[in-house]
Amino acid sequence: MVDGPNFDDRDGWIWFDGKLVPWREANVHVLTHALHYASSVFEGQRAYNGTIFKLDEHSQRLRNSAELLGFTLPWSVEQIGAACNEVLASNGLTDAYVRPVAWRGSEQMGVSAQRTKPHLAIAAWEWGKYFDPSLAARGIKLDIAEWRRPAPYTAPTSAKAAGLYMICTLSKHRAEDRGFHDALMFDWRGQVAEATGANAFFIRDGAIHTPTPDCFLDGITRRTVIDLARNRGVEVIERAIWPEELESFEQMFLTGSAAEVTFVGSAGPWNFEVGDLSRQLALDYEDLVNGRQPTI
């Protein structure tokens, strides 16, 4: 995870509503609507060798997420992308994590937010592996979360919305308190869904199985890894997966912009090996994000 000063006390620049401001001055009022009513969406993206991977897709998803929460960003995909690159350059970063966040402001307070204005800020910082690299050989340990991903008719589950991550924080804290690295979440039906910030994949008999993202985020990294697997001729099956099936899978890994491709050694009572196909897809992803064509 991230070491160093608190996130409100750093040198550098943050893009804020159209201009770069000193890091410590990128502040909002305590009565900002997003702080009280979770009217906020965000992106998490990584830059490799000075290039932000899948930048346009991330910028488009940010706009889509805001629309799902009922507000429209006045910045285009191209303008958001240019701002992200400006932040990267102004902070002298080439390998970094980039965080755009959009929210409703403090112009109105209450459940109704019709008069609030949309705001956008973008920050970037150096960030190594999401999980301790020493875990790579054996895979991380997942707890089974008590909280479940909500049904799509109860929340805007296709949005990367801040409010949807509250139960992820609760689940991850509980997992860490119990000696795990993260948690595997089920959905409201009891089907396998995802980890707290990454999509889940399973391998059995040379085929990859992954839950259908009908109530959680269809991750950009998820889709990238599916394409990489299919380019190798590997069958990828998107379907409902029930917990009882987990004992039949040989390998498991997670994907996400922060997590990249992370091997899983166990999830609750189920154990997995870190096998050749998982390792190959991790190498393919590393090649791709660094501008190298994966060797088939």
pLDDT (0 to 100) of residue 4:
63
CA distance 63 to 103: 11
pLDDT (0 to 100) of residue 7:
94
Complete domains list, the chain, with CATH: 13-125 (3.30.470.10), 133-289 (3.20.10.10)
Sign of CA dihedral 243, 185, 271, 276: positive
In this prediction, residues 165-187 reach a mean pLDDT of 98
pLDDT digits (tens, 9 = 90+) for 1-14: 555 679 999 999 99
Q: Which of 54, 141, 160, 172 is catalytic?
A: 160
pLDDT (0 to 100) of residue 136:
75
pLDDT band of 159, cuts 50, 70, 90: very high
In this prediction, residues 236-254 reach a mean pLDDT of 98
pLDDT (0 to 100) of residue 2:
52
117 catalytic? Reply is: no
Q: In the predicted model, is pLDDT for residue 50 greater than 70?
A: yes
In this prediction, residues 239-251 reach a mean pLDDT of 98
pLDDT band of 133, cuts 50, 70, 90: confident
pLDDT digits (tens, 9 = 90+) for 93-121: 999 999 999 999 999 999 999 999 999 99
- Output the average pLDDT for the chain: 96
In this prediction, residues 6-23 reach a mean pLDDT of 97
In this prediction, residues 65-80 reach a mean pLDDT of 98
